[in-house]
């Protein structure tokens, strides 16, 4: 694993990409794509160490983006993002995301392509 810090937006993109390479280990323990599982687990461990250093807005943004990635480590990271965020802080973060992106109009039909904003949500739409 690279020792450099992986920016949250890049981490979400990598995790989403890896989740499509093969199935993450199943709940019954079956792991047909052990390489994919190992890469996702290593990325999740790295991202876990960076979350405490994020601002409230960055945590809300990252948490929402991670909820879209359909694997258990992404959900666990999303829960970690929201761990010490109050409902009021969450709603304020959501409001800032919507107004900063002109109610997501800045993306038009190109969400996820080119990234017109530096938000994690750009990586998953």
Q: How far apart are CA 113 and CA 3, in angstroms?
A: 27
List the domain boundaries for the chain.
8-123
pLDDT tens string for the chain (125 positions)? 556 778 898 999 999 999 888 888 877 888 888 889 999 999 999 999 999 999 999 999 999 999 989 899 999 999 999 999 999 999 999 888 888 876 566 555 554 444 456 777 776 65
Q: Which string of DSSP letters, residue by residue, matches 71-105?
A: SHHHHHHHHHHHTT--HHHHHHHHHHHHHHTTTTG
CB 71 within 8 A of CB 21: no
The DSSP 8-state label assigned to residue 5 in this structure reads P
């Amino acid at each position: 694993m690279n020792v450099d810090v992986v920016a949250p937006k890049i981490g979400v993109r990598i995790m989403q990409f890896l989740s499509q390479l093969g199935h993450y280990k199943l709940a019954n323990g079956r792991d047909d794509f052990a390489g994919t599982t190992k890469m996702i687990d290593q990325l999740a461990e790295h991202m876990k160490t960076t979350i405490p250093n994020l601002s409230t807005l960055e945590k809300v943004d990252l948490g929402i983006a991670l909820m879209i990635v359909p694997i258990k480590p992404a959900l666990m990271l999303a829960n970690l993002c929201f761990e010490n965020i109050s409902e009021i802080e969450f709603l304020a973060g959501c409001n800032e995301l919507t107004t900063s992106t002109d109610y997501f109009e800045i993306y038009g039909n190109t969400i996820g392509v080119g990234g017109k904003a530096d938000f994690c949500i750009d990586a998953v739409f």
